[in-house]
Amino acid sequence: MVRSKKKDGSGSIYKSQQCEAQTLGKRQCRKRTARGKMCWIHLKKLKGLRVKKSKHGLGLFTTRDIKPKKIITPYEGERMTKKEAARKYPKNDARYMLCSNTTDLCVDARLSNSGVGRFANSARGSSKANNSRITDRSLNIKSRRKIKAGTEITYAYGSGHTILQPRSSQGATKLPPKSMRGRIGSASNVSGTKKTGYTAWM
């Protein structure tokens, strides 16, 4: 059962659900969670991850050492095409939307039980400050280097990104205002460069 509780004003919708994991007795875990799809105990045990307070609000942390170039978690949510995404957010105010640059895939993770990928923050400063990145085709969060247990997972939301919409009809792209780059809550529709390869609508 999924219950909607409240909006927190950032476009995020708080939803709780029963933990998806199975207990040792092969029954579904009875704990409820609104931070992803599993209770914190199963998230830690099965995925080696935790969602907890960071200096950016809630953040995603690893409880295990992670090797370079490993997929940490997919960016999960409602999957849609770019057209559908534009239709859903005509004002470009989606804040948990990621779109691939090379495919037509967009993922909207505005529901808090979309999966834990949505909780990963962007480190301030240069993109090198981020220990992870988003893969373009499938929108997975992948480690860029070795990450030690206990570390917050961060990836660049939008540094160096360009406005995408609507690339097909407007042609040339231009840079969003500096204040809008790489920040949560900048209601800009920005896209990844070829290098980072994803679109961040955050």
Residues that bind Zn ion (CB under 5 A): 19, 21, 29, 31, 39, 42
- CA distances from residue 44 to 30, 31, 107, 167 in whole angstroms, order as listed: 16, 14, 24, 41
Q: Is the CB of 5 or the CB of 32 nearer to Zn ion?
A: 32
Q: Is the CB of 34 or the CB of 187 nearer to Zn ion?
A: 34
Q: Is the CB of 21 or the CB of 109 nearer to Zn ion?
A: 21
Q: Is the CB of 17 or the CB of 54 nearer to Zn ion?
A: 17
Min dist CB 44 to Zn ion, Å, is 10
Q: Is the CB of 19 or the CB of 139 nearer to Zn ion?
A: 19
Min dist CB 115 to Zn ion, Å, is 15
Min dist CB 151 to Zn ion, Å, is 23
Q: Is the CB of 47 or the CB of 181 nearer to Zn ion?
A: 47
Which residues does 87 contact at the CB level (< 8 Å), separation at least 6? none
Are 15 and 113 in contact by the 8 Å Cβ rule? The answer is yes
**DSSP string across the chain:** --EEEEE-SSS-EEEEEE---B-TTSSBP--EESSSSS-HHHIIIIISEEEEEETTEEEEEESS-B-TT-EEEE--SEEEEHHHHHHH-TTS--SSEEEESSSSEEEE--BTTS-GGGG-B--SS-GGG-SEEE-TTT-EEEESS-B-TTPBPBB-SSTT-EE-TTHHHH-S--PPPGGGTT-TT----EE--TTT-EEEE-
Tokens of 105: 């895939």
